[in-house]
Amino acid sequence: MTIAVIDAAAVVDVLCRYGPGIRVEKSMRAASDVVAPAHMDAEVFQALARIERAGDLPEIQSHVGVLAQLSIHRMPIPPLLARAYDLLGQIAAKDALYVALTLSVNGRLITTDERLRRAAGGIVELA
């Protein structure tokens, strides 16, 4: 088993029961541990609020509660910054933190963000 790093897009797909969420849950179960940079919660919260405002999700309170309880270890950001900085020419800043964490734990990246998958595919293993 390996450590999986999960990004906000994948978590939103799980919480909202979007199509890719099933694949994400399978990858999470297959991992020995699931981790994310600490900013992941803020990104997910922002996405849920945006979905609610659009009228596509009637009430985010229960989803926020589930987010808080997910078995994802939140990792501090400061130790990731130098490695993330080195990736800025290839990957957006917030996404570089996920890739930096994946490199630091020698894990697999779980993402449903196609742009991130394309950018990170040659750098880290994707789940």
What are the boundaries of each domain within the chain?
Answer: 3-126
Q: What is the mean pLDDT of the chain?
A: 93
pLDDT greater than 80 at residue 56: no
DSSP bridge pairs for 109:
5, 126
Query: What are the tokens at 18?
Result: 């979007």
- What number is the average pLDDT over the span 23-42? 96
Say if residues 52 and 13 touch (Cβ distance below 8 Å). Answer: no
- What number is the average pLDDT over the span 55-61? 75
CA 43 – CA 13 distance, rounded (Å): 13
Within 13 Å of residue 51, how many CA atoms lie on the same side as its CB? 21
pLDDT greater than 80 at residue 59: no
- What number is the average pLDDT over the span 60-86? 94
Band of residue 1 on the pLDDT scale cut at 50, 70, 90: low
pLDDT greater than 90 at residue 21: no
Residue scoring higher pLDDT (35 or 60):
35
Looking at residue 112, what DSSP letter applies?
A: -
pLDDT greater than 80 at residue 63: yes
* Domain 3-126 CATH superfamily: 5'-nuclease (3.40.50.1010)
Band of residue 83 on the pLDDT scale cut at 50, 70, 90: very high
Give the pLDDT of residue 90: 93
Report the chain's C-alpha Rg in angstroms: 14
